[in-house]
Homo-oligomer: A and B are copies of this chain.
Amino acid sequence: DRRGYPEAVYCAGKTPEQVRLIAEAVSGRPDVVTLFTRAGEEHAAAVLASLPDAAWDPEARLLAWPPTVPPSTGGLVLVLAAGTSDLPVAREAWLTARYLGREAELVVDVGVAGLHRVLGKLDLLRSARVVVVAAGMDGALPSVVAGLVRAPVVALPTSVGYGASFGGVAALLTMLNSCAPGVSVVNIDNGYGAGHLAAQIAEPA
């Protein structure tokens, strides 16, 4: 066991049938939340076959069962998405943090090309215990945010972009080389990991 946190089932590498079997097994354990991540349409159908009341967020490709978000404890997890295209991954982070028991907020479209937008959120930014920053293309937003807040920043590179973005590698490298301290990075498009880590950081004392 992960010592109290929800279990997560990574669906991408599994057949719907394998996912269905896991969902069935899980149906006897309503005391612990189970998350099904990277679930396509067919994976979702397989989960819902065994757990009809599971909560499903198709954009985030996430299902949760039991479906109720637990009451929140600890500090605020703030999730920023640089652009609309980063939304699916950002949403996965936001939902994960909430199912791990944190209060979480999601703010979209605050890319560095329009600084006034992120500067307009300064109070919210500074009220967070941890900030997850999702960005693709140049991946510059976490550096800017880390310069504005005292809280740790979880940088979440996305595969949004084309050409020399190399499926998120450019954003990943930008974030690893952030010239502002207080930034660490998770895998490309790993919204689940970012949300999980943020929830751990924002745990109540």
Residues in A lying within 8 Å of B, measured CB to CB: 1-5, 8, 10, 12-14, 18, 38, 75, 82-86, 111-115, 119, 130, 136-140, 143-144, 146-152, 154, 157, 159-190, 192-194, 196-197, 200-201, 204-205
5 closest A-B pairs (Cβ-Cβ)?
A: A13-B85, A163-B188, A140-B140, A113-B180, A184-B184
Closest residue of B by beta carbon distance from A13: B85
Residue among A14, A140, A160 with the highest chain B CB neighbour number at 10 A: A140
Q: How far is the CA of A113 from the CA of B112 in the complex (A)?
A: 12
Q: A14-B85, A115-B144, A177-B170 are in contact. Are A187 and B162 (CB under 8 A)?
A: yes
Closest residue of B by beta carbon distance from A82: B179
Taking a contact as CB atoms under 8 Å apart, the answer to whether B146 and A143 are in contact is: no
Taking a contact as CB atoms under 8 Å apart, the answer to whether A146 and B113 are in contact is: yes
Q: What residues of B have a CB within 8 angstroms of the CB of A204 in the complex?
A: 205
Q: What residues of B have a CB within 8 angstroms of the CB of A12 in the complex?
A: 85, 162
- The listed residue (B14, B112, B166) touching A140 by CB distance below 8 A is B112
Q: What residues of B have a CB within 8 angstroms of the CB of A160 in the complex?
A: 13
Taking a contact as CB atoms under 8 Å apart, the answer to whether B2 and A200 are in contact is: no
Contacts A138-B174, A165-B187 known; list 6 others, CB within 8 Å: A2-B147, A82-B179, A138-B177, A154-B184, A170-B176, A181-B192
Taking a contact as CB atoms under 8 Å apart, the answer to whether A185 and B182 are in contact is: no
Taking a contact as CB atoms under 8 Å apart, the answer to whether B140 and A162 are in contact is: no
- The listed residue (B154, B163, B177) touching A164 by CB distance below 8 A is B177
